[in-house]
């Protein structure tokens, strides 16, 4: 995790970001220009959104992440006298985000996205950032649970072969995925055949050179 402008984290990150945005930058700009989104697409803040990034996308603060948003929902979490909860569940490439913000201990759906591909070996972290207006929120606890999921051998292979985050049916700019390291045998074979090819090329070159010299002497005499 590196400090940066995306809610305190670096831009062009690699992974899944879930944002709780408390200030409507784009809506305020729209109001200043006496323009407004239609009610069907206008968002009410505070707002929860999710974004999957392979390191090639920038989070657009001026538009509150709208161009890269996978989904979102309104979450009125200011000035409450009880704890609020957010759950992020990822099972078999299915991302589900739910919230409990009414003090009733009941989960409400927020975001549901199928086809999310996340590599193994990632980390969890939280960060925050404010602009000209200050806001105060406390992260009381962060609980992690490993879910037991039965996978077929094909599903296990597909899960293991994911090297960069992606979302099915969502085109992300291409990035070069890290290649798996070569085994000792593969490395030996590559070096061996490279040497054989080099020796073969040298021998062919000497033969052709000798023939060229012989043809030159015949023409001279």
pLDDT of residue 137: 83
Give the integer Cα–Cα distance in Å for 210 and 68.
65
The whole-angstrom separation of Cα 188 and Cα 182 is 10
Cα distance between residue 196 and residue 42, in whole Å: 66
Confidence (pTM) = 0.73
Give percent above pLDDT 70 in the chain: 92
Q: Which letter, b or e, does each residue of 183-204 get, where b requires 16 or more Cβ atoms within 10 Å of its Cβ?
A: eeeeeeeeeeeeeeeeeeeeee
The Cα–Cα gap between 76 and 101 comes to 7
In the chain, alpha helices (H)? 25-32, 153-160, 184-220
Of 196 and 68, the structure prediction assigns the larger pLDDT to 68
Q: Kindly state the tokens that stand for 186.
A: 């593969």
- Average pLDDT value for the chain: 86
Mean pLDDT of 64-68: 94
Across the range 83-97, mean pLDDT stands at 95
Least confident of 99-103, 144-148, 213-217: 213-217
The confidence score (pLDDT) of residue 177 equals 46
* Residue 58: CB atoms within 10 Å: 13
């Amino acid at each position: 995790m590196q400090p940066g402008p995306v809610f305190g984290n670096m831009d062009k990150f690699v992974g899944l970001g879930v944002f709780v945005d408390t200030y409507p930058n784009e809506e305020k700009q729209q109001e200043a220009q006496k323009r407004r989104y239609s009610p069907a697409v206008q968002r009410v803040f505070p707002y929860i959104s999710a974004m999957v990034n392979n390191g090639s996308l920038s989070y657009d603060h001026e538009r509150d992440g709208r161009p890269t948003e996978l989904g979102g929902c309104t979450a009125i979490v200011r000035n409450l006298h009880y704890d609020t909860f957010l759950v992020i569940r990822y099972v078999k490439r299915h991302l589900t985000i739910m919230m409990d913000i009414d003090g009733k201990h009941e989960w409400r759906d927020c975001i549901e996205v199928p086809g999310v591909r996340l590599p193994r070996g990632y980390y969890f972290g939280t960060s925050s950032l404010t602009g000209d207006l200050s806001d105060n929120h406390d992260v009381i606890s962060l609980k992690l649970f490993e879910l037991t999921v039965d996978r077929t051998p094909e599903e296990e292979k597909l899960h293991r072969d994911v090297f960069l985050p992606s979302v099915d049916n969502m085109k992300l700019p291409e990035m070069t995925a890290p290649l798996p390291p070569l085994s000792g045998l593969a490395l030996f074979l590559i070096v061996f055949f490279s040497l054989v090819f080099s020796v073969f090329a040298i021998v062919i070159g000497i033969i052709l050179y000798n023939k060229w010299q012989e043809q030159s002497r015949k023409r001279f005499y």
